[in-house]
Amino acid sequence: MSTVIEDPHDRRGDSATVLLEGFHSLETPEGFRAELIEGEILVTPPPTGNHENNVSSVIRQVLRRSSTTVSFSGNKGLVLRRGGACPENHLIPDGVFVPQGAFRDEPPWMPVDPVVMVLEVTGSHPDRDRELKRRCYARGAVPLYLLLDRETRTTTLFGAPGPRTDSTDYTREVRVPFGTPLDLPEPFGLTLETAEFV
C-alpha cells in the first residue's frame, strides 16, 4: 500500500484555478477589456463613438434625475457567482450603478452585493450581452440589467432575478424601441429617454 501526499502548490488537476490564475495574469493591449465569462476568457476591443454616446446618455440622465443619489463606474470589475465547474465570472460592464459611496475601499474586482444596476451597450459581440452576461448578472442577483441593443435598436430592462441556480435568469423584461421612453424603477424613479440612442 502506498500513500500519496498532495502538493498544495500543484494545481494541474484544478483547471478552474489554472484558468483564473491565467486570467488574472493576462496583459491586454491598451483600451481592450478582458473578462472571464462561463469559463472562457473574452477580450473586447475599445468601443466605438456611437457606443460611448449611448453610455454617456444613460449616465447623464441617471445622475441628473435619479430620485436617489447613486455613483457610477464605467470600468469596475465585478466578481459574480459561477456556473457549474467554471471559476467565478469576472465581468467589466459598460456601466455599474451603486448607492453613493459604495465604491469606496473596494478592490479592483468587487462583489456585486451593492450594485443596483448594470448597463451594457452591444458592440462587436452582441450575443455576449444578450445571453451570457444577462445570465451572469441574474445569477449574481444584480437587481436591474439595462441593455441597449444597437443591432435591434431596442432598450431592454431586465429585473427580478430568479432563484439562484446554474440556469438563473431574470423574471421580468421590458423592451422598447429606441425613441420610446423607458421607466427605471426605484432606486432611480425616472423615465429614461431613448431618442438619442444610436
Q: In the prediction, which pLDDT does 82 show?
A: 74
User: What is the pLDDT, as a whole number, of residue 141?
Assistant: 93
For the segment 121-142, the average pLDDT, to the nearest whole number, is: 93
Between 125 and 152, whose confidence is greater?
A: 152
Q: What is the mean pLDDT of the chain?
A: 89
Q: What is the pLDDT of residues 103-116, one digit of tens each?
A: 999 999 999 999 99
Q: Is there a contact between 124 and 28 (Cβ–Cβ < 8 Å)?
A: no
Q: In the chain, what are the domain boundaries? A: 47-192
Q: What is the per-residue pLDDT for 40? A: 86
pLDDT at residue 75 above 90? no
Cα dist. 161→41, 53, 82, 167, 178 in Å? 25, 28, 15, 11, 24
Taking the C-alpha atoms of residue 23 and residue 172, their distance in angstroms, rounded to an integer, is 33
Amino acid (one-letter) located at 75: N
Phi, psi of 25 (to 5 degrees): -95, 0
pLDDT above 50: residue 173? yes
13: pLDDT strictly greater than 90: no
| Mean pLDDT value across residues 18-23 | 82
* For the chain, percent of residues with pLDDT exceeding 90: 67
Instruction: Note the pTM of the prediction, 2 decimals.
Output: 0.87
What CATH code is assigned to 47-192? 3.90.1570.10
Q: Would you list the DSSP string of the chain?
A: -------TT--TT-HHHHHHHHHHH--PPTT-EEEEETTEEEEEPPPPHHHHHHHHHHHHHHHHH-SS-EEEESS-EEEE---TTSPPEEE--SEEEEETTTTTT--SEEESTT--EEEEE--S-HHIIIIIHHHHHHHTT-SEEEEEETTTTEEEEEEEE-SSSTT--EEEEEEEETTS-EEE-TTT-EEEP-TT--
Q: Look at strands 144-149 and 95-99 and give their pairing.
A: unpaired
What is the structure's pLDDT at 42? 87
Instruction: Say if residues 124 and 149 touch (Cβ distance below 8 Å).
Output: no
pLDDT above 60 (res 19): yes
User: What is the end-to-end Cα distance of the chain in Å, rounded?
Assistant: 69
